[in-house]
Structure 1
Amino acid sequence: MFNSYNDIRKWRENRMDSVSRDHFQLNAFHDQMIQHAFHLAKEKIEREQGPPPAPFAFYLMGSAGRFEQSIWSDQDHGIVFDGKQEHQHYFLKLGEEIREGLAAVGYERCEGNVMASNPLWCQSVEVLQTQISDWLREASWQKLRHFLIFFDSRVLIGDKGLLFQVKKQVFSILEEEPWLFSRLVENVNHVKKGVGIFGQLLPDYSGGKKGNFNLKQTVYFPYVNALRMLALLHHVSAPSTLSRFEAIRSIYPSVAAYEEDFHQLLQHRLQWRNEAESYENVHMLKVDQLPKKDKQQLKTSVRRGQKLYSIAKSIVKEEGWS
């Protein structure tokens, strides 16, 4: 269908406006673009290096892994293969081409280098299992950050069972060493206040983002972090926040009450940032330009998200590591 990355980019430019107001249509479109870019990358590497030397899966992480991308997004992806470690060289080459192809399509390279071109995110199943186990047991802030990024993953192309093997091991480790839950909670425990004691919205007051309200850090992450913790507690491998809500809905009615809040937040996020022109500012919102109704909706989202996070934290503390 597409002969070049530039063809995909043009398709994006032509179609984006028609899907950008609906969360599910938008994320399905992102998946389609990434799939097309992947296939072009794979074809190029196969011409140069031959066919893949082992079965593999290309997986997404971050907002793409959670099926929660906004109009603009950066890259977060990896490759896991069922083969010898010597096969890594081939898949790293594939990862490099995927990275460059997605950049050409319009997905910025990940600043943290969470991409399949990085050996850390391009491993055999066996080595990845060992790596994840080491990250958990070391339990340093950075290693747990890597782990949490990995846990929000899903296979876009390839054998889904390869990734599930690794997640299954994760649940086993957490059952054996429940004290890890306390460290995982600490890792995501900082929540930006968002709303002041007088009910005013609190944008950033310094630096290049002065006057902007960070939707991702202040409003969106409390929901994501809360449901991720509960997913780990209940062995839910699905990465999307809405799927996690669905999986634990019957267990915690107090948590289920916030599902519609999150769904509305996903839609409002698109509405508020529909005109964003780059990944750099897609999460930044000028609150002084919002209508009164939207300001009230934003305050509600902040408060509800932080309340949900508090509830989830209490549940994990009671059931996870106490």
Structure 2
Amino acid sequence: MFNTYEEIKQWREETLDSVADDHHQLNAFHDQVMYQTVRIAMDHIESEQGKPPAPFAFFLMGSAGRCEQSVWSDQDHGIIFNGSTDFQEYFLNLGTEISYGMGVVGYEKCEGNVMASNALWCQSMGSFEKLIEEWLLEESWQSLRNFSIFIDSRVLVGDENLLMQLKNASFSMLEDHPHLYSRLIDNFEFIKKGVGVFGQLLPEHGQGLDGEIHLKQTAYFPYVNALRVLALKKGVCAAPTLDRFEILTYNYPFLEAYEKNFRELLDFRLKFRKSATSYEKVHLLPLKVLSKQDKQKLKFLIRRGQKLFSKCKSMLHEEDAL
């Protein structure tokens, strides 16, 4: 369909606005843009270095892994390959080419270097399994954060079974160390307060910010983090928060009401998407563009997310104490 990254970039720019009002259409479009980019990268590396030396999976993480991207998004991805560690150089070159192509197309590089061009996120099945075990046994803030980033993953190109095997191995490790569920949710404890004690929205100030609220940190994270830990507890491989809601409601019926709130939050974000002019601004919502009714709605959704997070935290700590 496309021969160059520049052609994909043009398609992205011409099409994005037409799908940006619908959460599912927008994320399906992002998938297609990234899929076409990866295909060109694969063709480029194959022309220089030959066919892939082993079965592999290119997977997405972060908001892309959860199918929760907005109009602007950065790169969070990795590669698993099923074979000798000697093959890592080939797949690192592929990861580097993919990261370059995505940059051309319009996706900012990840500030934390969570990309398949980084050897940490481009490894063999055996090496990844050992790494995940190390993350869980270390129990540091950074190691558990890396594990949480990994678990929000889904395959875009390649063998989905490779990722599923790693996730299932992770669930088994967690079952052997059940105290880690409460440790993981404690790891997400820092959540920006979006609503003050007097019911007022709390905007960001300083460093070029002026009366903007950080939607991702104040509103989204409580829902996402709570569902991630419950998914780990029940061995749910799905990464999208909406899929996790659907699957986990069978075990936790109280989630049904919160799923409705999360869907409302996704729609709320897109309603004001035109206020974001760059990736740096995509999660910042100027309060001045909100009506009184919008502000009330946002405060309600923030409080509901925090209530969900607190409920899940208490539940996991109680189970840990038994």
- Coarse TM-score class (shorter-chain normalised): over 0.9
Contact in 2 for aligned 1:255/1:311 (Cα 8 Å): no
- Structure 1 residue 233 displacement after superposition: 0.8
Rounded to whole Å, the distance in 2 between the matches of 1:321 and 1:245 is 25
Contact in 2 for aligned 1:80/1:163 (Cα 8 Å): yes
What SS does the corresponding residue of 2:237 show, helix, strand or coil? coil
Contact in 2 for aligned 1:59/1:155 (Cα 8 Å): yes
Rounded to whole Å, the distance in 2 between the matches of 1:240 and 1:321 is 29
- Structure 1 residue 184 displacement after superposition: 0.8
TM-score normalized by structure 2? Answer: 0.98
Rounded to whole Å, the distance in 2 between the matches of 1:308 and 1:191 is 13
Match runs of 1:162-201 below 5 Å: 162-201=162-201
Partner of 2:312: 312
- Structure 1 residue 252 displacement after superposition: 1.5
- Structure 1 residue 265 displacement after superposition: 0.6
Structure 1 stretch displaced more, 212-221 or 289-298: 289-298
Contact in 2 for aligned 1:182/1:321 (Cα 8 Å): no
Match runs of 1:1-322 below 5 Å: 1-320=1-320, 322=322
Contact in 2 for aligned 1:92/1:117 (Cα 8 Å): yes
Rounded to whole Å, the distance in 1 between the matches of 2:17 and 2:315 is 41
What SS does the corresponding residue of 1:211 show, helix, strand or coil? strand
- Structure 1 residue 270 displacement after superposition: 1.0
Rounded to whole Å, the distance in 2 between the matches of 1:120 and 1:229 is 23
- Structure 1 residue 320 displacement after superposition: 4.3
Contact in 1 for aligned 2:88/2:123 (Cα 8 Å): yes
- Structure 1 residue 275 displacement after superposition: 4.2
Contact in 2 for aligned 1:273/1:283 (Cα 8 Å): no
Rounded to whole Å, the distance in 2 between the matches of 1:295 and 1:161 is 44
- Code of the residue aligned with 1:17 in structure 2: it is D
What SS does the corresponding residue of 1:257 show, helix, strand or coil? helix
- Code of the residue aligned with 1:246 in structure 2: it is E
Structure 1 stretch displaced more, 306-315 or 60-69: 306-315
Per-residue CA deviation, residues 284-305 of structure 1 (Å, 9 max, x unaligned), is 0111221111111111110111
Contact in 2 for aligned 1:56/1:79 (Cα 8 Å): yes
Contact in 1 for aligned 2:58/2:79 (Cα 8 Å): yes
Contact in 2 for aligned 1:66/1:240 (Cα 8 Å): yes
Rounded to whole Å, the distance in 1 between the matches of 2:161 and 2:320 is 27
- Code of the residue aligned with 1:279 in structure 2: it is Y
- Code of the residue aligned with 2:289 in structure 1: it is Q
Per-residue CA deviation, residues 118-141 of structure 1 (Å, 9 max, x unaligned), is 000000011100000100100111
Aligned residue pairs total 322
Q: After the TM superposition, which parts of structure 1 deviate over 3 Å for at least 4 consecutive aligned residues?
A: none
- Code of the residue aligned with 1:33 in structure 2: it is V
- Structure 1 residue 158 displacement after superposition: 0.7
Structure 1 stretch displaced more, 250-259 or 12-21: 250-259
Contact in 2 for aligned 1:79/1:121 (Cα 8 Å): yes
Contact in 2 for aligned 1:35/1:157 (Cα 8 Å): yes
Rounded to whole Å, the distance in 1 between the matches of 2:321 and 2:269 is 34
Q: Unpaired segments of 5 or more residues in structure 2?
A: none
Rounded to whole Å, the distance in 2 between the matches of 1:187 and 1:318 is 17
TM-score normalized by structure 1? Answer: 0.98
Q: Unpaired segments of 5 or more residues in structure 1?
A: none
Structure 1 stretch displaced more, 121-130 or 243-252: 243-252
Contact in 1 for aligned 2:60/2:76 (Cα 8 Å): yes
Contact in 2 for aligned 1:233/1:316 (Cα 8 Å): no
Structure 1 residues 178 and 57 mapped into 2: Cα distance closer, same or farther (>3 Å)? same
Structure 1 stretch displaced more, 164-173 or 81-90: 164-173
Contact in 1 for aligned 2:182/2:313 (Cα 8 Å): no
Rounded to whole Å, the distance in 2 between the matches of 1:312 and 1:179 is 14
- Structure 1 residue 209 displacement after superposition: 2.1
Contact in 1 for aligned 2:185/2:226 (Cα 8 Å): no
- Structure 1 residue 311 displacement after superposition: 1.1
Structure 1 stretch displaced more, 20-29 or 305-314: 305-314
Per-residue CA deviation, residues 43-68 of structure 1 (Å, 9 max, x unaligned), is 00001101000000000000000011
Q: Percent identity?
A: 58
Contact in 2 for aligned 1:21/1:274 (Cα 8 Å): no
Per-residue CA deviation, residues 131-168 of structure 1 (Å, 9 max, x unaligned), is 00100100111111100000000001111110111111
Rounded to whole Å, the distance in 1 between the matches of 2:100 and 2:152 is 23
Structure 1 residues 145 and 321 mapped into 2: Cα distance closer, same or farther (>3 Å)? farther
What SS does the corresponding residue of 2:254 show, helix, strand or coil? helix
